[in-house]
Amino acid sequence: GENVEQHPSTLSVQEGDSAVIKCTYSDSASNYFPWYKQELGKRPQLIIDIRSNVGEKKDQRIAVTLNKTAKHFSLHITETQPEDSAVYFCAASIWNNDMRFGAGTRLTVKP
Amino acid sequence: EADIYQTPRYLVIGTGKKITLECSQTMGHDKMYWYQQDPGMELHLIHYSYGVNSTEKGDLSSESTVSRIRTEHFPLTLESARPSHTSQYLCASSDQQREGQFFGPGTRLTVL
C-alpha cells in the first residue's frame, strides 16, 4: 500500500519568510495529492490539491509542486503570517481512494 | 448547509463502558471514515466505508466497530473503553465527484 513521508515535523519561520514542507510517496499509481491545514482545536481543512497531470498549482500565497518521477511533492507558503501557524498534512491517493496522510508538520510563524 | 456533524463533541467516561460516537453527513458523500488523532498529531485510520453495508478496518486496531446502514450515518462503537482510547476521533467523508476528504469537528474522548 501507499506510504507517505512528510518532513520536517516542525518548522519555525519569521513572519514574511517562506515556508516549504516536503512529502514523498511510494505508490507510483497515486494521482491525487491534497494538503490540509489544521489549526489548534479545529478540524483539518483542505487548502490546496494537485493532480498528477499538473506540475504546479498556485492559490494566492500557497503553491504546491509535484515531481512524479521522484515521487515527491511540496507545499510552499510565501510571505508567511501568524495566522499560517498550524499543523499541515500532505496526503496521496488513487482517484480519491485509499488516501494516506503524512505525519504532519507543525508550522510556527513568529511575529 | 452541507456539513459533517459529530456528537458528542466532548465525552468523559469510566473504564469498561460501552460508547457510541455519532457521525452524520449531509454532503451526499458515499464514502466515510473514522480517524483517531491526538491533538495536532498524526491521523490514524480506524475504519472506513465505501457505501451502505460496506465497512473495512483501517491501520489502527482500536477494538471498535462501525456500521453503515444509511448513507449519511456512520457510528463508531467502543465495546469496552480503556484509558488508551483517550484521544480525539474525527469523522470524514468523500466522493468521486469532488476530491479530498472533508472532516467533522471531532469528538474529544477521555476515559478515566
Any A CB within 8 A of B97 CB: no
Put simply, whether A45 touches B (Cβ < 8 Å) is yes
Task: Give the pLDDT of residue A101.
Answer: 95
The grid cell for B40 is 495536532
Query: Is A1 touching B (CB cutoff 8 A)?
Result: no
Residue A2: pLDDT band by 50, 70, 90 thresholds?
confident
- Assigned C-alpha cell, A10: 516542525
Residue B103 to residue B94: CA distance in whole angstroms: 9
Question: Which residues in chain B have their CB less than 8 angstroms from residue A101's CB?
Answer: 42-43
Of A43, A95, A96, the CB nearest to B90: A43
CB-nearest to B105 from A43, A96, A99 is: A43
Say yes or no: B14 contacts chain A, CB-CB below 8 A: no
Per residue in A41-100, pLDDT tens? Answer: 999 999 999 998 889 999 999 999 999 999 999 999 999 999 999 999 999 998 877 889
Rounded CA-CA distance A105/A14 in Å is: 16
